[in-house]
Amino acid sequence: MRSWLMGTAVGLTALGFTTVGVSSLAWSAGSNTGNQEEIYQQLDLFAEILARVDSEYVVDVDDSEAMKSAINGMLASLDPHSSYLAADDYEDMQVQTSGEYGGLGIEVQAKDGYVEIVAPIDDTPASRADLRSGDLVSAIDGVSIVGQSPNDAITSMRGEVGTDITLTIIRAGEDDTFDVTLTREIIRPKSVIHRIEDEDIGYVRISAFNERTTELLDESLTAIREELGPNPAGLIIDLRNNPGGLLDQAISVSSMFMSSGEVVSTRGRDPRDIQRYNAAPGERFPDTPIMVLINGGSASAAEIVAGALQDMERAQVLGMTSFGKGSVQTVIPLSAQRGALRLTTARYYTPSGRSIQGTGIEPDFEVASRFITEDELEAMRRFSEADLPNALDNDSGAERREIHLPEDMPSEDYEGDDYQLERAIEQLRTITLSSLDAARAG
């Protein structure tokens, strides 16, 4: 079994029903015989209703599809991230996290009957078409998908590489829907890229946490060291629109910027069931100030990294409050090649013990990437884990801070390339100057 911290991704579906799921539900009811009897009565009720539908509904019913809908409904009632993966869908998930898969390059979730884009993946058809976090998909190739599950929509989006697909998009601030045509392709996202900013500041962009992320980050940091030496003026870690991925990758990435200490802890149903994950030796650039960039599309594994570096005072965080997905999903293979169950099994906590479930990581410097209108602000307020149907609550009682118009945002006629990045560089310059002043005073 492996722990995951990611949202639903194009290329995955959650179809299928197995008796394993039903029998496990009954068996795990506990030692209380009365509870087991009640569950068996409910299963009898379900069987009776299914038989009535099968015999008396106005048209013929596909029993298999009805059962699939039943199990999907049960899992959806638990939380937004638990789902069943049929055998081929389970294989797709494994391929995706290996760093190469087919699709459009977008992470999606359910939102008010629509399919909402959590984040486009860098250098994919979705990102090149300027699809954005918070966009709603209302139709595919002219056929409405309103009311469909994200998994059904994902199935419709998949197809032969090189073929076109048209998505109808609803965007906050736009009066009308508009169509975007994309060409399906093999997605080989390079989850880490780097460059040098302002001559002496290293910049690393991490777009996802798959099996290659730590390896690629190591290569990027080595290249930055070769160009700038062991003490760059600053380092920027860009986690904006990073939807998450593998828990072990979040831990190993954090370890590259920490000398020691806890990265994250997880707690399951039993309060005594606590697992703590500490940084491994091998900190890079220990004397270099770090700025982490986040936004509303930064989720789960990205939030673990940002929260760890923030709590351990190894970095400061700049941007907008993150998505707030503070739960861990375990992928449990089922018997007889029946696929896998993706089940929420724990919450995670930053080193200081805070749960960010529903609340997100709040930046040290709140900076918007673009000029925000009141209409866009209202849409942003509804774009978070806390707004998803059946989302887990925050067990510490914390609530998400209401998003307001940030004081620091570009003007309406801003013509630069990346305002948040510019402000991060300015903050790093301020830190460097402060350190020099302190050294001189000492």
**Measured at the alpha carbon of residue 429, what is the angle toward residues 217 and 198, in degrees to the nearest 5?**
60
CB-CB contact of 236 with 428 (8 Å): yes
CB-CB contact of 356 with 303 (8 Å): yes
In degrees and rounded to multiples of 5, residue 344 shows phi and psi of: -70, 120
How far is the CA of 275 from the CAs of 272, 350, 361, in angstroms? Answer: 9, 12, 21
The one catalytic residue in 82, 255, 325, 327 is 325
> Is 92 an annotated catalytic residue?
no
The one catalytic residue in 79, 89, 92, 311 is 311
Distance CA 39, CA 252 (A): 43
> Is 311 an annotated catalytic residue?
yes
Distance CA 279, CA 151 (A): 36
* DSSP SS3 for 146: coil
Tally of CB atoms within 10 A around 271: 8
Distance CA 116, CA 315 (A): 31
Q: What is the CA radius of gyration of the chain?
A: 23
Residue 5's Cα: distance from chain center in Å? 7
Bridge partners of 355, per DSSP, are 349
In degrees and rounded to multiples of 5, residue 333 shows phi and psi of: -60, 140
Distance CA 231, CA 228 (A): 7
- One-letter amino acid at 202 equals G
Tally the C-alpha atoms within 13 A of residue 387's C-alpha that lie toward its C-beta.
20
Distance CA 255, CA 230 (A): 17
Length of the chain: 442
Distance CA 407, CA 417 (A): 19
Tokens 């959806």 correspond to: 76
Distance CA 271, CA 350 (A): 16
The one catalytic residue in 220, 300, 369, 384 is 300
**Which two tokens mark 381?**
């307020």
Residues 6+ positions from 353 with CB-CB distance below 8 Å: 265
> Is 300 an annotated catalytic residue?
yes
Enzyme catalytic residues? 300, 311, 325
